[in-house]
Structure formats: structure tokens, C-alpha cells
């Protein structure tokens, strides 16, 4: 059940009404049923995977708490890791692994046909798997006491606002909130609905509009050179940002209306002055997950190797970030590229700091922001390209002749539509500049009622008039 569907617009108010209508002690059961229904609207059979992941993590937590020694605790953690990651591997990476193994065997003249699985990738499997794993690891590390209420733990894994595309929550943050009694709060509901509205604006008005041009050019990459490729790449940067941050805004806003606080997933990433900073602002729940559960343990393990150990931990961590996004070499290259860039920034930190001191901030900061954005755009060519061959072609033809192999500039959007997209992208960036100076919510609350409601209705009418509602597309991160 996508957020950008009529079905969700009916489902969500019903859930809110039921949530505040029934006694607190029964709310978890209603939310769990609603969350399972929400997920089963895609593929009812795959709900069994969420249930298995839940039971495994829940059981391992109890086992860890009862373990008499370190060895038993480690076995309990391994149970959760092997089963959860095993399910993820089978459904997401098995065919990729077999395909590459088949190519390797063929290359060395060994002709053995290998089996492939005819299965569909379950929606959101990477998100809820990582959420379940974080609980097992936190219990193992002693940072979270095991949850004994199976129903509420099940709700933690399957909570519908963030089930399909995050944010990836931590048990230490979200689980305790299900025991809190939430009452109807006008300000909280208003803020939640406004955040949802802003998320719908980013998705329907910007992401789905730019997607038309991006899909046309990237799906026929070899027909274009120069400006069309550059335009499509820049548009994709804003498509994927508005699509994913829009989903996060809707998820966080939906949870807020019921009284739940989800972690912030994006923080104006395109105003970053380095790639390292960008990853502190982009998909924060994933980057911090990898940092806490993979990079830091690796860095500690490799600490005896000094800088080389740190670089190795970075490269492994970011390569796995790329692989997390999908079973394609383009994703792995995307992750490894960012690991390499952050390694270079780590090695040159002192040099860059000295340079920044010698250049006025009003010159250094814009140049750094622009440079970071250009590097990001180059990297996401691998993220979006349909194949490694397409990615290489696009990069090698970005600065070549703007003349098309086909007649005219047929990029999916006409001039007026393209200018509309540019206008709303500029509007979004303007809002984010304003956000840097203070809270938008606080500013809106200080305005007279007629200004506030003018803003609210203005955003609604903007979505209705300029949003790609009839041709609304699936959220990009559903495939992960």
C-alpha cells in the first residue's frame, strides 16, 4: 500500500481514529494488525518473512538474556545474524551470486549449469531485516534489555509508517514508545500532517515530475550525449532525494500524529561541504547503522594497522552500503567510490582545514558545496544506470556534443514542464536555506492565522495542480 495511493488516504485516517478510540492497552494489537495489513497489500505471502525475522530476533534476545556465559550469548546472536541475513541473501542476492559464479566458471571453461530462484524481491526486506538485527546486537552488547512482550516487539519490527522504506529505527529509541500512553494532541497532529503534506509535495510535484525525464534519458542512454545526460543526472539527484526524503517525511509525520517520534533521516544533504558531511546528512538511519554495527567494530579490529586499518574499514563499510541498495555491480561501485572519497578526505583533513582558513568563508563554502554536489551527481550515475555499460557510456559522453542521435530534444518533458521542475527544485532549495536559519514550524506558528492557512492551502493546491497524481510512481527505495 504505497503512501501515494487512494488506498492509503483511506487507511490512514481509519487507523488514527481507531488508535485514539480504543483503550491504551489494546492499541498495540490494533497497530500490529494494521501494519501487517499494510504490508500484505503488496504480497500477502511475504508477511511470513517478517514474522520469521521477528520471532528469530525475539528468541535470540531472550536466549542472550538467559545465557550463562559469553559463548552462549555469541551463539544466540549468531542465530539471529545467520537466519536474518540468510533470508536477505536468498531473496535479494542469491541470483546475483549465482550469475557471477556462472560467468566465472564459464570463463575458466567449466560448464556446470547452476540453479536460479524464480522469486520476487519482498518490499522493504533490507529495512526490517536491519531493524531486527540492530535489536539482537543491542541486547548482545547490553545496551537494551530483552523485550518480553512478543506483540509489542512484533510491532517494533513491522510498524507501518517506516516498515517499507525506513527510517531504520533502533530498539532503544522506538520500542519504549509503544508502552507510552498517547493522547490526542492538536499541535502534534497538526505538525505531523504538515510534515506529511511536505513529503507529498516533494514526491508528487518534484520527484515524479523529474522522474519522467530521468527515465526517458537513462532508459535510452545511448541515444543521448552532452546536455541531456547532464540534465537527467542533475534531475535524478533531486528525484532520488525528494522521493526518499519525501517518503521519510510522510513516515515521520504519520507516526507523529499518533505520538511516536521517528529519527530524522535527512538533513539538507545538498548543502554539504564534503562527501563525509553529505553522508552524515543523507539516509542518516542507514549511515549511522553501518557506522555503529559495522565500521566501528571493524575500525577497532584493524586499529593496530593505523591509518591503513581505518581506510580498510571505510572501504568495506561503504562497499556494503552499496550492496545493501541492490544486487548489482553498479551499486557496489557506487558504495566503493564513496568509501574511496571519504578515505581521501580522511587523509587530507588537515590540508583541507588549512586551506579553508586561508580562503574567506563566503568563497570557500559555496565552492565546497558545489564541488560536493557535482561529485555526488557523478556517483549516482552508477546508482541509476541500468547497467555498468550504460554508466560508463553516460560518464564518457557527459561533456561531448549536445547533439542527439535521434532528432530533437525528446527527453520526456517539454520545455514548460522542464522549467516547472526547475522552479520547484529552486523553491525546495530556498526552503532548505530558510530552514538553516531556524525552525520552519516555529516560524509558521508565529504567523497570523490567515497567513498560516494561506500557506497550508497553497501547498495543497500546488500538489493538486502541479503534482503528477494520475501518473504517480512507486517510491524509488521500495526496490531496496
Q: Which positions are catalytic?
A: 325
> Where are the strands (E) in 133-291, listed by range?
none
SS3 322: helix
Q: Are 252 and 264 in contact (CB under 8 A)?
A: yes
Cell triple for residue 57? 530476533
Cα(136)–Cα(155) distance, integer angstroms:
16
Q: Are 133 and 292 in contact (CB under 8 A)?
A: no
Cα(193)–Cα(197) distance, integer angstroms:
6
Cα(8)–Cα(362) distance, integer angstroms:
45
Helix axes 329-347, 388-397, angle to 10 degrees: 50
Helix axes 125-141, 150-158, angle to 10 degrees: 130
> Where are the strands (E) in 241-322, listed by range?
none
SS3 144: coil
Q: Are 239 and 477 in contact (CB under 8 A)?
A: no
Cα(82)–Cα(90) distance, integer angstroms:
12
Cα(217)–Cα(203) distance, integer angstroms:
20
Cα(56)–Cα(85) distance, integer angstroms:
11
What are the percentages of helix, strand and coil residues in the chain, rounded to 5?
75, 0, 25
Identify which of 78, 66, 51 has the alpha carbon closest to the alpha carbon of residue 136: 78
SS3 119: coil
Cα dist from 73 to 65, 80, 137, 142, whole Å: 8, 11, 10, 11
Which residues, 6 or more positions from 386, have their beta carbon under 8 angstroms from its beta carbon? 218, 219, 221
Cα(271)–Cα(369) distance, integer angstroms:
6
Cα dist from 273 to 149, 238, 345, 376, 436, whole Å: 45, 17, 11, 11, 14
Amino acid at each position: 500500500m504505497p503512501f501515494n495511493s487512494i488506498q492509503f488516504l483511506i487507511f490512514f485516517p481509519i487507523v488514527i481514529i481507531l488508535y485514539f478510540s480504543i483503550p491504551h492497552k489494546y492499541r498495540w494489537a490494533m497497530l500490529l494488525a494494521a501494519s501487517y495489513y499494510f504490508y500484505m497489500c503488496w504480497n500477502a505471502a511475504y508477511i511470513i518473512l517478517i514474522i520469521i525475522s521477528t520471532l528469530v530476533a525475539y528468541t535470540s534476545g531472550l536466549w542472550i538474556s538467559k545465557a550463562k556465559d559469553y559463548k552462549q550469548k555469541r551463539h544466540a546472536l549468531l542465530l539471529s545474524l545467520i537466519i536474518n541475513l540468510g533470508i536477505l541473501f536468498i531473496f535479494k542476492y542469491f541470483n546475483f551470486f549465482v550469475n557471477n559464479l556462472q560467468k566465472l566458471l564459464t570463463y575458466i571453461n567449466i560448464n556446470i549449469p547452476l540453479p536460479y530462484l524464480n522469486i520476487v524481491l519482498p518490499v522493504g526486506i533490507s529495512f526490517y531485516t536491519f531493524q531486527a538485527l540492530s535489536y539482537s546486537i543491542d541486547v548482545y552488547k547490553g545496551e537494551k534489555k530483552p523485550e518480553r512482550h512478543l506483540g509489542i516487539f512484533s510491532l517494533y519490527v513491522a510498524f507501518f509508517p517506516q516498515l517499507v522504506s525506513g527510517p531504520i529505527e533502533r530498539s532503544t529509541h522506538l520500542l519504549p514508545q509503544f508502552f507510552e500512553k498517547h493522547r490526542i494532541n492538536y499541535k502534534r497532529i497538526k505538525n505531523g500532517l504538515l510534515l506529511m503534506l511536505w513529503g507529498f509535495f516533494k514526491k508528487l510535484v518534484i520527484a515524479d515530475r523529474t522522474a519522467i525525464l530521468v527515465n526517458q534519458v537513462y532508459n535510452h542512454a545511448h541515444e543521448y550525449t552532452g546536455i541531456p545526460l547532464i540534465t537527467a543526472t542533475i534531475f535524478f539527484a533531486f528525484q532520488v532525494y525528494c522521493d526518499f526524503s519525501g517518503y521519510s517525511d510522510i513516515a515521520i509525520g504519520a507516526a507523529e500524529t499518533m505520538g511516536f517520534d521517528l529519527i530524522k533521516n535527512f538533513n539538507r544533504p545538498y548543502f554539504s561541504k564534503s562527501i563525509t558531511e553529505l553522508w552524515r546528512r543523507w539516509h542518516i538511519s542507514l549511515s549511522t547503522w553501518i557506522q555503529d554495527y559495522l565500521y566501528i567494530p571493524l575500525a577497532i579490529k584493524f586499529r593496530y594497522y593505523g591509518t591503513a586499518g581505518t581506510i580498510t574499514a571505510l572501504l568495506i563499510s561503504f562497499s556494503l552500503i552499496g550492496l545493501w541498495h541492490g544486487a548489482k555491480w553498479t551499486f557496489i561501485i557506487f558504495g566503493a567510490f564513496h568509501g574511496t572519497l571519504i578515505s581521501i578526505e580522511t587523509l587530507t583533513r588537515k590540508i583541507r582545514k588549512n586551506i579553508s582558513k586561508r580562503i574567506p568563508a563566503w568563497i570557500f563554502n559555496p565552492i565546497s558545496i558545489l564541488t560536493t554536489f557535482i561529485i555526488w551527481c557523478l556517483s549516482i550515475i552508477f546508482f541509476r544506470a541500468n547497467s555498468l555499460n550504460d554508466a560508463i557510456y553516460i560518464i564518457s559522453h557527459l561533456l561531448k556534443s549536445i547533439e542527439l542521435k535521434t532528432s530533437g530534444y525528446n527527453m520526456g518533458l517539454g520545455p514548460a514542464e522542464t522549467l516547472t521542475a526547475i522552479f520547484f527544485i529552486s523553491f525546495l532549495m530556498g526552503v532548505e536555506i530558510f530552514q538553516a536559519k531556524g525552525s520552519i514550524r516555529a516560524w509558521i506558528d508565529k504567523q497570523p492565522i490567515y497567513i498560516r492557512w494561506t500557506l497550508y492551502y497553497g501547498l495543497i493546491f500546488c500538489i493538486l495542480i502541479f503534482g503528477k497524481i494520475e501518473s504517480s510512481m512507486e517510491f524509488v527505495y521500495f526496490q531496496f
